[in-house]
């Protein structure tokens, strides 16, 4: 089974939207907190490996890093499988 991880903050409406969509369609998803207060999203490693502009949320499905500009794009990607 493919590991699905969601990088974001639990209090982010965008992160919550993707999390809720995954739960509703039965996808087991792991939330990986990105501490915005500590500027973890601006860390060079995060930028290189997850999002070139340091934005959340980022959905990681196996080797794929999905970082659409808004959560509806990620929700669509989840729903089409």
For residue range 2-33, what is the model confidence (pLDDT) as tens digits? 789 999 999 988 899 889 988 988 889 999 99
Residue 71 lies in a domain: no
Range of the domain at 37: 33-58
pLDDT score for 1: 66
CB 81 within 8 A of CB 59: no
Predicted structure pTM score:
0.81
Q: 61 vs 27, 52, 67, CA distance in Å?
A: 11, 17, 11
Q: What kind and span of H or E run contains 64?
A: strand 64-66
Residue 16 lies in a domain: no
Angle between helices 13-24 and 71-80 (to 10 degrees): 10
Residue 39 lies in a domain: yes
How many structural domains compose the chain? 1
Interior CA angle at 18 toward 15 and 22, to 5°? 135
Residue 40 lies in a domain: yes
DSSP-derived 3-state class of residue 45 = helix
């Amino acid at each position: 089974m493919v590991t699905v991880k969601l990088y974001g903050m639990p209090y982010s409406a965008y992160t919550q939207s993707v999390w809720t969509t995954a739960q509703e369609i039965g996808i087991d998803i792991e939330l990986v907190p990105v501490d915005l207060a500590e500027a973890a999203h601006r860390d060079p490693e995060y930028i290189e490996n997850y999002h070139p502009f340091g934005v959340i949320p980022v959905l990681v499905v196996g080797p794929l890093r999905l970082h659409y500009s808004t959560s509806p794009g990620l929700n669509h990607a989840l729903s089409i499988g």
